[in-house]
Amino acid sequence: MAVDKRMQHARGTVLEQTALHESATASSSARTRNAMGAPVPLSLLRPLELVSELLTNQAHFWKLAGLLFLGEILLNTVIIKKIPYTEIDWIAYMQEVSGYLQGETDYMKLRGDTGPLVYPAGFVYIYSALYYMTDLGKNVLRGQWIFMGLYLLTLGVVFAIYSKDQNVPPYVLIFLCLSKRLHSIYVLRLFNDPVAMFLLYASILAFLYRRWTWSSVLFSLAVSVKMNILLFFPAFGFLVWQTQGVYGTLLQLTTMTLIQIILSLPFTLHHAQSYLRKAFEFSRVFEYKWTVNWKFLDERTFLSPELSKVLLAGHFLVLFAFVFLRWSRSEGGIVPVILRGLTASKTVLSIHAQYMKPNHILTVLFTSNFLGIVFARSLHYQFYSWYSMTLPYLLWQTRLPVVVRVLLLGAIEWSWNVYPATAKSSGVLMVSHSVILVGLWVGKRKIRAGSRKRE
């Protein structure tokens, strides 16, 4: 009883402070709008003002997003028509799923030119559909148009995600559209990574709208395509605990697990061990020649178990540091977070979820994934799609000068476009990642009530 009373009192205090803060923010925003004659109507007769408003005024966020979207339609069309397709994994994908379509359900026997099938069941079903949609995998051009559609859908979802945080200026969207490597991954390579990331971003958007079960379903579907999505899982579980407590967390975990079981049934009913060994092969070691990072190390060091253990330990250490000292800091530490999840009523958790800011949700999720990438032993070129669309957001959660943020985006993009990777490109990538990591740890400056710094 005493604990409940203290929690209710604390909750009342938090809600009161939140209401006061929102009132102050609203008053400040109203003063700003009045001073600026807001929102300023856009006019082609005032081009400088037009550009400034589009780039910096949240009221015109979707106008800028719409222009960028139209530009992407044109750009991707030109890429498909003018730049030759490069075969890497598409034929292997088609070979792997054709075996399944012919009745084979033993993962150890599903193979392509690049080796055995190493992706979960969701991948098999999606690429089986693509197999038929592209004339048994032979109409690659049609596949490119399909992946152009996937890219545009993903971009639209990511725009919607960014729109939920009013503190990120609209011009940051431009950086989502500038990656040469990302366009190549989608429409010139047809990798499965973009499919998994689309489902993941859809899951995040559902979470932002508090559609908890839909979010969990989409997250599990993303994992069923490629298990790199598990890099988001520590943050996803943390947020589910914060918003739904112990019983809600168990419900969502059960939902996600059931989806994996159901999707895998055609394979696990007869060859369960083969499926689990190949679909979730955590011990897999990637080849040195394809990696983008750690190329300043020799191959022997790169492949050594010692390096793997050091990186794994570093990943867990930094992840736990963020969980204990950063993600839970606003609530007084990890202990109050755990206790609330264990003891708070459904009503209290619902109120807490209602006042959870999109900034917290996105920063936690994107940081969790970023940490996995920083400490990964091997990053192949298509892995850039795992985090490229999150980098602008993460950089705008730091107090680094805007010029430095832009330079870091450029340095990372350059690193991913050097082929084959060199000691220099890997070094630039590692330094850039390290600077962002430190920036995320330090965080943003707190903005005083009644004032707002435009970036």
If DSSP states are collapsed to H, E and C, what string results for 83-149?
CCCCCCCHHHHHHHHHHHHCCCCCHHHCEECCEECCCCHHHHHHHHHHHHHCCCCCCHHHHHHHHHH
CA distance 406 to 392: 9
Q: Is residue 1 in some structural domain?
A: no
- Mean predicted confidence (pLDDT) in 152-163: 98
Which residue blocks in 280-386 are alpha helix, DSSP H? Answer: 299-303, 305-322, 334-343, 346-354, 358-374
- The answer to whether the CB of 343 falls within 8 A of the CB of 5 is no
Confidence class of residue 284 from pLDDT cuts 50, 70 and 90?
Answer: confident
Q: Is the pLDDT of residue 18 over 50?
A: no
Q: Is the pLDDT of residue 30 over 70?
A: no
Compute the distance between CA of residue 450 and CA of residue 28 in angstroms, rounded to an integer.
5
Q: What share of the chain is helix, strand, coil (3-state, %, to 5)?
A: 75, 0, 25
pLDDT above 70 (res 446): no
pTM of this structure: 0.90
Residue 167 counted as domain residue: yes
Mean pLDDT of the chain: 90
- Residue identified by tokens 């190493």 is 118
Residue 450 located in a structural domain: no
**Domain contains 50:** no
In a domain, 147, yes or no: yes
* The pLDDT of residue 264: 97
Does a structural domain hold residue 386?
yes
Q: Does the structure show a pLDDT above 60 at 60? A: yes
Number of domains in the chain: 1
The CB density around residue 309, as the number of other CB atoms within 10 Å, is 10
- Residues 405 and 398: beta-carbon distance below 8 Å: yes
Whether the ω angle into residue 39 lies within 30 degrees of 0, i.e. cis, is yes
- Tokens 């107090």: give the residue: 399
Across the range 372-382, mean pLDDT stands at: 96
User: What is the predicted pLDDT for the residue at 397?
Assistant: 97
- Residues of the domain holding 351: 60-280+295-442
Residues listed for the chain: 455
Integer angstrom CA distances of residue 448 from 22, 264, 359, 393: 12, 52, 17, 21
Residue 317: inside a domain = yes
Name 153's Cβ contacts closer than 8 Å, sequence gap at least 6: 198
Q: Is residue 46 part of a domain?
A: no
228 within 8 A of 324, measured Cβ to Cβ? no
